[in-house]
Amino acid sequence: MSPRRNRQRGGANPIDRTGGDRYGLETTEEWRGEDWVVRQVGGSGAAKHYRCPGCDQEIPPGMPHVVAWPQHGDVDDRRHWHKACWNARDRRSARLQRSRNAPRY
Protein backbone atom coordinates (compact mmCIF):
# COMPACT_ATOMS: atom_id res chain seq x y z
CA MET A 1 0.00 0.00 0.00
CA SER A 2 1.38 3.43 -0.92
CA PRO A 3 1.29 6.37 1.50
CA ARG A 4 -1.63 8.75 1.33
CA ARG A 5 -1.17 12.02 -0.56
CA ASN A 6 -2.30 15.11 1.33
CA ARG A 7 -1.61 17.53 -1.51
CA GLN A 8 -3.45 17.93 -4.76
CA ARG A 9 -1.60 16.83 -7.85
CA GLY A 10 -0.60 19.32 -10.50
CA GLY A 11 -1.97 22.79 -11.00
CA ALA A 12 -0.54 26.04 -9.79
CA ASN A 13 -0.51 27.21 -6.21
CA PRO A 14 -3.28 29.70 -5.40
CA ILE A 15 -2.20 33.33 -5.57
CA ASP A 16 -2.39 35.25 -2.31
CA ARG A 17 -3.48 38.83 -3.10
CA THR A 18 -4.19 39.85 0.48
CA GLY A 19 -0.67 40.98 1.32
CA GLY A 20 0.25 37.81 3.19
CA ASP A 21 -1.37 36.13 6.13
CA ARG A 22 -0.67 39.04 8.48
CA TYR A 23 -3.45 41.28 7.12
CA GLY A 24 -7.01 40.58 6.13
CA LEU A 25 -8.87 41.11 2.92
CA GLU A 26 -9.25 44.56 1.46
CA THR A 27 -12.71 45.82 0.62
CA THR A 28 -13.88 49.09 -0.89
CA GLU A 29 -16.56 51.15 0.83
CA GLU A 30 -18.09 54.50 -0.05
CA TRP A 31 -18.01 57.20 2.61
CA ARG A 32 -18.70 60.92 2.16
CA GLY A 33 -18.82 60.53 -1.62
CA GLU A 34 -15.37 58.93 -1.82
CA ASP A 35 -14.26 55.31 -2.21
CA TRP A 36 -12.22 54.03 0.73
CA VAL A 37 -10.09 50.89 0.90
CA VAL A 38 -10.74 49.12 4.19
CA ARG A 39 -8.54 46.37 5.62
CA GLN A 40 -9.21 44.36 8.77
CA VAL A 41 -6.03 43.92 10.83
CA GLY A 42 -5.88 41.03 13.29
CA GLY A 43 -4.27 41.20 16.69
CA SER A 44 -1.05 39.59 15.47
CA GLY A 45 -0.70 42.23 12.73
CA ALA A 46 -1.00 45.19 15.09
CA ALA A 47 2.48 45.92 16.36
CA LYS A 48 2.39 49.63 17.22
CA HIS A 49 0.30 52.18 19.08
CA TYR A 50 -2.17 54.06 16.89
CA ARG A 51 -4.65 56.86 17.58
CA CYS A 52 -8.23 56.25 16.39
CA PRO A 53 -9.65 59.28 14.55
CA GLY A 54 -13.19 58.26 15.51
CA CYS A 55 -12.84 58.45 19.29
CA ASP A 56 -9.35 59.98 19.67
CA GLN A 57 -8.33 57.07 21.91
CA GLU A 58 -5.24 54.92 21.60
CA ILE A 59 -5.26 51.51 19.89
CA PRO A 60 -2.70 49.39 21.76
CA PRO A 61 -0.50 46.77 20.07
CA GLY A 62 -2.19 43.40 19.68
CA MET A 63 -5.73 44.77 19.34
CA PRO A 64 -7.62 43.93 16.14
CA HIS A 65 -8.69 47.06 14.27
CA VAL A 66 -9.46 48.53 10.83
CA VAL A 67 -7.13 50.42 8.51
CA ALA A 68 -8.86 52.72 6.00
CA TRP A 69 -7.57 55.11 3.36
CA PRO A 70 -8.97 56.87 0.30
CA GLN A 71 -8.72 54.66 -2.78
CA HIS A 72 -6.77 57.29 -4.70
CA GLY A 73 -4.87 58.51 -1.67
CA ASP A 74 -1.28 58.19 -0.57
CA VAL A 75 0.28 55.86 2.01
CA ASP A 76 0.28 58.77 4.45
CA ASP A 77 -3.53 58.94 4.24
CA ARG A 78 -4.02 55.61 6.05
CA ARG A 79 -5.88 55.80 9.35
CA HIS A 80 -6.24 53.11 12.00
CA TRP A 81 -9.74 52.87 13.51
CA HIS A 82 -11.37 50.75 16.19
CA LYS A 83 -13.85 48.45 14.46
CA ALA A 84 -16.78 49.97 16.35
CA CYS A 85 -15.64 53.51 15.55
CA TRP A 86 -15.35 52.71 11.83
CA ASN A 87 -18.84 51.19 11.83
CA ALA A 88 -20.24 54.27 13.66
CA ARG A 89 -18.29 56.88 11.66
CA ASP A 90 -21.46 58.51 10.28
CA ARG A 91 -22.99 58.87 13.75
CA ARG A 92 -19.94 60.47 15.34
CA SER A 93 -19.14 64.14 15.62
CA ALA A 94 -16.27 65.46 13.54
CA ARG A 95 -15.26 67.98 16.20
CA LEU A 96 -13.43 66.07 18.89
CA GLN A 97 -11.61 68.09 21.50
CA ARG A 98 -8.20 66.89 22.61
CA SER A 99 -7.01 67.51 26.11
CA ARG A 100 -3.82 69.52 26.49
CA ASN A 101 -1.81 66.49 27.55
CA ALA A 102 -2.97 64.14 24.77
CA PRO A 103 -0.10 62.98 22.55
CA ARG A 104 -0.41 63.81 18.84
CA TYR A 105 0.46 60.79 16.71
44-101 pLDDT tens trace:
887 889 999 988 899 999 999 999 999 888 888 899 999 999 999 888 655 556 666 7
In the chain, the N- to C-terminal Cα span, in Å, equals 63
d(CA 76, CA 74): 5
| Element containing residue 84 per DSSP (H, E) | helix 83-87
3-state secondary structure of 28: strand
Helices (H), the chain: 83-87
What's the predicted TM-score (pTM) here?
A: 0.64
Q: Is 33 left (phi over 0), alpha (psi -120 to 50) or beta?
A: left
